[in-house]
Each structure stands twice: as C-alpha cells, then as structure tokens.
Structure 1
Amino acid sequence: MIKQYMDGTLKIKQDELTAVERYRLLAQGKKVDRLPCAVDSGETLAPLIGISVDHFYHSSEKMVEVEEYVYRTFHSDGMGLSTTLRGMAEAMGSEIRYFDNNISQLQKPALSSLDEAETAKKIDVDTDGRLHIILDGLKILKEKYGEEVPVGATVTGPFTVAAMVVGTEKLLMGMVQKPEKVKALMEIIAENNNRYIARLIDMKIGIGFADPVSSTSLLREKQYREFSFPYIKKNVDFIRSQGASAGLHICGKSRKIWEDVLETGISAFSLDNIEDLAEAKEVMGDKVSLSGNIPPVEVLRYGTPEMVLESGRQCIRKAWDSPKGFTLTSGCQTPMGTPIANLTALMDCARIFGRYPIDEELLAEE
C-alpha cells in the first residue's frame, strides 16, 4: 500500500465529512469516514507562505492566514492558536526576543529572584503582552470556520509559565531551596491563566494545555505532584466548572505521572513520541481520548513521506480502538522546515490506514 502511494498509483478516498461532523458522530458512537487526524500548526509553519515568524507572533491577521493555509491545504481536523510557551510570561513582564526565521526565546525573566514571587504581575488580558492579538485571531477563525472544524487554543501550563517568569534553573532550584516562594508564584500564574481561559470559554473555543517543563525528564514524580499538579488542576477545575473540557500535552517523558495527569480532570492527552501509545491506551484509554505520536523531528521533518506513512500506520495500529477515541498527529509541534509532502502524507495516512471500517490486516502487514 505504501509502495503504491509512493509511485502514485494508489487512489485515496477523499474525506466525506467535515471535521466537526466527524467528531460529533464519533462522540455519538456512529460511523464516520476515517480516524481524526491533525497537523500541529502555528508559528513554525508561517514560513511556508512567506510570513516571518516575528510577523506571525504580532499580527492576528497573519496568524489567521497560516491557519487558513494549513486547513485548506491539508484538511486537518483542527485549527487554532497558542499563547506559545512564552506568551503568558511576556504578559507578566518577561522580555522575549523575536526572530524572523526562528521561534521566540526568553531574553529576560520578569522576576530576578523567587524572593519577588509575591509581586508577580496579575495580568490584564486586554492590554498585557500579545494575549489580545491571539484572542482577535481566534475570534476570526471561530467566525469563519467554526461550523466546519474545531477551533482551539493552547494555553501554557502553569509550571512552564513559571519557568519563563523566573527562569528554569531558578525554578528547579527553588523547589528545594524556596518551595513556598515557588508555590506563591504558581498561585498567581494559575489565576492569570484562568483570566485568559475565561475569555476562551466565552468564545466557545476549545482548550488544551502545553506543559513541557512538567515532564519527568525534568521533574521527579513527587515534585510534579507538589509544584505542578495542584495548579494545572486549578485551571482544569475552572474550565470544568464552566461546562467545558481540556486537553494536555507534555513533551518528553510522562509515563510515571499518567495516573496523576488523569486526576487533573482533563478529557484528552497528547503523547510525545518518546512514549508508547499502546501502553497509554491500556492505562488511560478508557478515561481520556489520546493523540499522537509520529516523531516530529526524525520522521516528519527529516524523514520521507514513506517514513511518515509507516510511522502513522504503527500509531493507528496501536491506538485506533482506544475506548475514548484517538487522533493521529505528531508527537510535538511541527518543526520549521517540514516538507509539505510529509504533512500531506500525515493526513493521507489517516485516509489510507484509518479508513473505516478499519482493516486490521492492513495495519499488521510487515
């Protein structure tokens, strides 16, 4: 099948449903055309249409242009905008450096020391940082495409925001040396997140969290439970109190905290490619929907369409029957410079191997 795709002789059955229709029918337990599949977009794809990354960050119109391009070109089952890892920290006073051809970087944390934790800024969503630009872009996307495709917003997890407010090294050392200061900062960040989240809920925008600094690649499980878990739970509790739900992505290793992650109350979990989808299905699949986890660098950026199809096929084989649902996507953000042919192959993988009824023999072929 993959050989036929590569030589152009495979006829791919095109989508029969919109993304909104597909997810709605799946939620009702009804038949659909294929598994959901999504291209993880954002600032890294801006250069595909000649937009500088710096311009993307500071223009809601350019953000919308990129999302429109991705949706119209690949027919992804999702679109949306992110605060990016440094967006909330910038609103709290951190200085961010922007580039034309690279993602932003933390230049100067808002706080020079955790001793200043209690003085951390409580944000005004309308005036601080780029938050209002992102909200303007989301409003446009929702109005133009909300009937066709789910529109979502990625919010940075509180612990990751803290790393961008005081610096990662100081935050990690502070858990040992100044734990109460860390917690004081986390309380303010959780409240700031909720102020932004309230706007998203009012707009009926889907919500997901990106929280890479909470990975067990950096934290021990005990540290996660004490310094990260309580504060993202405050965010998820607020979301659920408003009748909405939330997803979560943690970069790197997360297996040791999966049970804790479930206790946050999220309804969807996105896996980094370092983790195993089959194991996630066994541990979490009856409680949350899963998504993932094609390697974004080795396969999506530097691989071939053939490699993307094979990796995606393995993902589908492992998780297509996960009880709460599965969405095929990359294990993290799409890298800058990813070939268009590989993004096309990602979506086509769902059309070939994720076509209903699922052909398990096709998935199992060597």
Structure 2
Amino acid sequence: MAWWARGGLAAILGSLAACSTQPPAPVAPRPGPPAAVPAAPSAARWVVADWQELPGWGSDDLPAAWPALLAGCQRPAPGWAEFCARAALQSPADGFEATLLLMKHLRPWRLAGEGGDTGLLTGYFEPQLAASRTRQGAFQWPLHALPADAALRRLPRRDIDTHPRFTALALAWLDDPFALLQLQIQGSGRLVTRDAGGAERISRVAFAGHNDQPFESVAKALLARGEVRDASWKGLSDWARSNPAKVRDALAVNPRVVYFREEALADAAQGPRGAQGVPLTPGRSVAVDKAFIVLGTPLWLDSTEPLSTTPMRRLVMAQDTGGAIQGAVRADLFWGWGDDAALQAGRTKQPLRLWALLPEGMRP
C-alpha cells in the first residue's frame, strides 16, 4: 500500500490546494511573464487537472525516477530552470518529500489527441550484440561508419553490400544479419568484442546518419511470401540460419541503411543519449512526439505492464523522439539493454493515458 494510503494524501492535497493557485517563491528574480510551452498542433488538447485525477498517484517509487528528472534538468527547456534549481537543491530523501516537491511546484495537465485521451504505449531498448573487429567465421555482416562522400552515403543497401569502398568503413562485424537490422532500427546499441588477449570489451555505437532511402519492413515481406510465420527477431534469426542463400535478397527489400559512430562506454549503467542530449534511464525515459510535448517534460504514465492487466503507473521523462512516435498521447518506453530489455520492449504495446507536469504559471 502506498505511504499516503495510510492518511498522508488527503493532508497533502488539502495543504497544497491553496498553493496550487499561487506562484511559488522564486529561487532568483526572473523578469518577464510566465513561460509558455511552444504551441502544440491543433489536434492536441491540454486539460488542466487535479492531482487526485492521476491514476495511481502515490504508488510510484518517485526517488527511483529522480535521476532521470535531474538528467533532464541538465538541458532544461524554457521555463524549467527555476524548478530544476529547486530539484537539485532539494534532493528528496524519500517518496514523501519527492511527492511534496512535485505537487508544490508543478501542475498536471491531461493530454488528449484526435482519438481522445487514450493513445498507445510501445517500448524500445538498446541491443547488446556480439561482434568482431575483423571479418571472420560467422561474423560476416558489417556495421558501417558514415561515409564522407555524399553520393556514396546515399547508395541503397543492395549496392552497399557489394561496394568495395565500404569495407574500410566497417566499424565491426556481426554474426547475425537480423541483429544488424535490429540495431539499425533501434538506432544505438552495445558491441561486445574480445581483444587479442581474450578480454571482453563493451563499447557503444550511436546513430550517425542514414542513406536517405525509404524504410521497408523485411519482416512484412517475408510474412507476405510465406517464408516465415514467426516475425519476432528470434524467428527471423532462425530463418536466416536455415536459409543463408536467401538472406541478402531478403534484406535488400529494405533499401535504408543506418550508419553509426563508436563511443567509449564510460559508465555501463548509463543508457544512450536521447534526442534531448541526456542519457536515457531504463524504465523512466520515453520517446515522444516533440510537436506535442517539449523534451524534458515530466509525464505521468497510466498504462499496464506488458502482456498483463497489472497497472503500470509511473513518472517518466520525455527525453527522446522516434520516427514512428507520432501524436499527443503516444510514448515509447526505454527498457534498457540486453535480452530482458529486448523481451520487455517487444511485449510493450498497450493503451496509454498521459499527464504532463508543468511548472506553476506555465501554460501549454
């Protein structure tokens, strides 16, 4: 049971009812009118809400969300500097303090789009893949750096696979063509290689660009031809191992190729940087449509656990974007890296409601 289910919530809501209508004492003088969120497209509706309306408010482990919130404050959106200063100076010791701070200085707004206030939650992750620095054995699938030559960069996948100049651009080689495709779709990942002495090394590869070709679903094409019945990543990888002579033609259905740059992994506990420019936090960072939601905005997420009716209600931060993430009530939850994260991400596809938490005085 949440801590305030034993009597704390009513007291907090009552004590803050008056505070919610008055601007908090400023950390420092700030001239000018209250900040405003950039105007959202007309299809979005923002409805001011009360804290009691947020399903499950009080059940979340808010201190667990605080690192993601502080990460977002490294690059605060306009109007957020004052709150971020408070959050950094008043790091909450427990859930009570965290909730009090949020309720005192922020205000919830319910998001709705063309289809109403219910949208879609999906998930994504950072693949962690075995790789080789040289082409050898099963490691035959190259991961390329961005070509400096613009004409070379725009070649479709089929031409890239056979072009001799791309050999020198290989950052590493993978042993699974569909793991490479998965990495290109996710946009970043971790490579696990071994040096000459056999020591394991983990590095990160991040999105560096693509070849400006359209994206086509390889899985959809294989399903349409009856080549596969299981279009999961495991099912596609199993098909590739059983049909090595068909793999290149299957991949060529998708002419788009994503290029990468390699980065040192200074902290293995940190996720990749999202579109906001800060590291993503597993279970607490989401990708949103920035036409509707400003990056760096805290959101209250109301959905269910993957493949379950168990409620999933938590504070998340809008810290990334994605080409398929479109609409006001739409979010893609970052699950982390490795096999468990991949499993959770693949299972995440359920109804969603969202509330944005904005500083007092800020209007969407």
TM-score range, shorter chain: under 0.3
When normalised by structure 1's length, the TM-score is 0.25
More helix by share: 1
Greater relative contact order (Cα < 8 A, sep 6+): 2
More strand by share: 2
